[in-house]
Chain A
Amino acid sequence: MTTTPAADGDELFALHTLRLNINGEQRRIQVHAWTTLLDMLREQLQLTGSKKGCDHGQCGACTVLLDGKRINSCLTLAVMHDGAELTTIEGVADGEALHPLQRAFIKHDAFQCGYCTPGQICSALAMAGENHAHSRADIREQMSGNLCRCGAYNNILDAIEDALPACRGELETSAPALGKRGSAA
């Protein structure tokens, strides 16, 4: 990471240059220290699939995978993640081919307004990799960081349960490449 002082030399307004692998694509991005990962994605890169529902880690709509782990991108500063690999909803499908989770969400009508959906899918994708969810009750508990105000929970549960075997099979063969899949791969 390199840091460029502001024109007036004020340390507070310095710009930091980051390298990030986002959905398989290497990107070089300049941010101020206070830019959150979510605002960087949405406002600087126009990757608006990650949603801002609360901006305080209380809803999960901004969930992305950072080095394979699900996090709330609204509560972390972009500047802290130089060199990281990110997967956002835009990188979940393999080109035109939808990920099994995405297909299952459509099949089970696991959304209504669709606003929480990117976060639900990213969260479920990471949960599959964590491998701690072994029952419907486990899925419910481990998906509780993703609110859905439309109340599609039971359909989301059905969709995840349906797609989990496919997710796990897929992850066993290509877990390290998770962040590299996507349209740009």
Chain B
Amino acid sequence: MSPFSYARPTAVQEAVQLAGPHARFIAGGTNLIDLMKENVERPQRLIDITGLPLHEVADTVDGGLLIGALVSNSDLAWHPRVQHDYPLLAQAILAGASPQLRNMATTGGNLLQRTRCLYFYDTATPCNKREPGSGCSARQGLNRNHAILGASEHCIATHPSDMCVALAALQAQVHVAGPQGARQIAFADFHRLPGDQPQRDNVLADNELITAIELPAEGFAAHSHYLKVRDRESYAFALVSVAAALDIDGHVIRQARIALGGVAHKPWRNPDAEAVLIGKPATAANFRLAADLLLDGADGQGRNNFKIPLARQAVVRALTDAAQAMEAA
């Protein structure tokens, strides 16, 4: 950890005015403090945003939900409306981390988690994401947990969040405040692929702050499932995860959403994979078709080749479970 100054603003505009390239916002701190202890993050200023009025969960006029950026992961997962209307989100949140971490971690912070790439965490090794231009150790190294989709020659890291996979499937909106005012970013556009700038995980500017996440009214409550595949039963990052949501009319799928976690630099969706299910019955054969389209272009790095068949199987299983939720309901 390096020395830093500390500020605790009470208004959003005050917070963004304090922000800059060498400052970091801190709320839950579960990833930032972790990275600071490893000297991966070395901010000169910490802006403690826990005093900002962003702790509320509120209904929106069109029946959705506006979740303050500082709502803890636990509070969100157990929130009555999330439990009832967005079980996919509740399942995804509860599949991540531990109860202790979920009590600390915030909604906004969850979006900003950094990758779990072993090399990113170890300053003794080259890593383009941590130190642009130093090289990617993972490509030829220990890449069992790395990307099979959307990777670049500069970086094959994955985004580690579970919650974000569900938010991607639910097509959330990210509310952001900056010195020039507020803007909204569609979830699909929030995280970016590594390309030749792997140091940038998302499209936020240095002085922009996430203020809220907005969920549309459609929560796919009757037919959704979050499946997480990992190396132990709990308290481990996903090898592959799937957020599957279906809107089924009788036996015909009206709408489908499938997002994959653990496979790319961002939660992975493919409109073709979802479109192919529309108007079709919820059968394993159709789910396999969707899985194939979703995994289209997937490419392993060696040790992570297994993720391709695994993701395929996981998509089919998650969709099947989502569909069966209908029958049980």
Hey, which bits of chain A sit against chain B, CB under 8 A?
1, 11-14, 16, 33-34, 36, 55-57, 60, 63, 66, 69-72, 74-77, 79-80, 123, 126-127, 130, 132, 140-142, 144-146
Determine whether the beta carbon of A75 is less than 8 Å from that of B104: yes
CA distance A14 to B8 in the complex (A): 14
Determine whether the beta carbon of A80 is less than 8 Å from that of B99: no
CA distance A14 to B6 in the complex (A): 9
Given the complex, which residues of A lie within 8 Å of B74, measured CB to CB? 69
Give 4 nearest A-B pairs by CB, closest first: A145-B98, A144-B234, A33-B6, A12-B3
CA distance A60 to B44 in the complex (A): 28
With A69-B103, A70-B100, A145-B101 as given contacts, are A33 and B235 in contact (CB-CB < 8 Å)? no
Interface status of B78 (Cβ within 8 A of chain A): yes
A33 contact from B4, B50, B97, Cβ within 8 A = B4
Given the complex, which residues of A lie within 8 Å of B100, measured CB to CB? 57, 60, 63, 70-72, 123, 145
CA distance A123 to B99 in the complex (A): 9
Give the interface size bracket for B toward A: 20 to 34
A80 contact from B29, B37, B78, Cβ within 8 A = B29
With A56-B34, A56-B37, A123-B99 as given contacts, are A76 and B29 in contact (CB-CB < 8 Å)? yes
Given the complex, which residues of A lie within 8 Å of B234, measured CB to CB? 140-141, 144
Determine whether the beta carbon of A71 is less than 8 Å from that of B235: no
With A80-B26, A80-B50, A144-B233 as given contacts, are A75 and B33 in contact (CB-CB < 8 Å)? yes
A72 contact from B1, B4, B26, B30, Cβ within 8 A = B30
B101 contact from A57, A126, A127, A130, Cβ within 8 A = A57
Given the complex, which residues of A lie within 8 Å of B26, measured CB to CB? 77, 80
Minimum Cβ distance to chain A for residue B256 (Å): 29
CA distance A11 to B3 in the complex (A): 10
Minimum Cβ distance to chain A for residue B6 (Å): 4
Number of A-B contacts (CB under 8 A): 88
Minimum Cβ distance to chain B for residue A159 (Å): 18
With A36-B33, A80-B48 as given contacts, are A72 and B101 in contact (CB-CB < 8 Å)? yes
Determine whether the beta carbon of A34 is less than 8 Å from that of B1: yes
Minimum Cβ distance to chain A for residue B43 (Å): 11
Determine whether the beta carbon of A77 is less than 8 Å from that of B99: no
Minimum Cβ distance to chain B for residue A43 (Å): 15
Task: Write out, one digit per residue, whether chain B residues 92-117 have a CB within 8 A of any chain A CB (1) or not (0).
Answer: 00000111110110000000000000
Minimum Cβ distance to chain B for residue A149 (Å): 14
Query: What 18 additional pairs, Cβ within 8 angstroms, besides A33-B6, A72-B101, A142-B99?
Result: A33-B4, A34-B1, A56-B34, A57-B101, A63-B100, A69-B103, A75-B30, A75-B33, A75-B104, A77-B6, A77-B29, A77-B33, A79-B48, A80-B50, A144-B98, A144-B234, A145-B97, A145-B98
A12 contact from B4, B50, B97, B233, Cβ within 8 A = B4
Determine whether the beta carbon of B104 is less than 8 Å from that of A72: yes
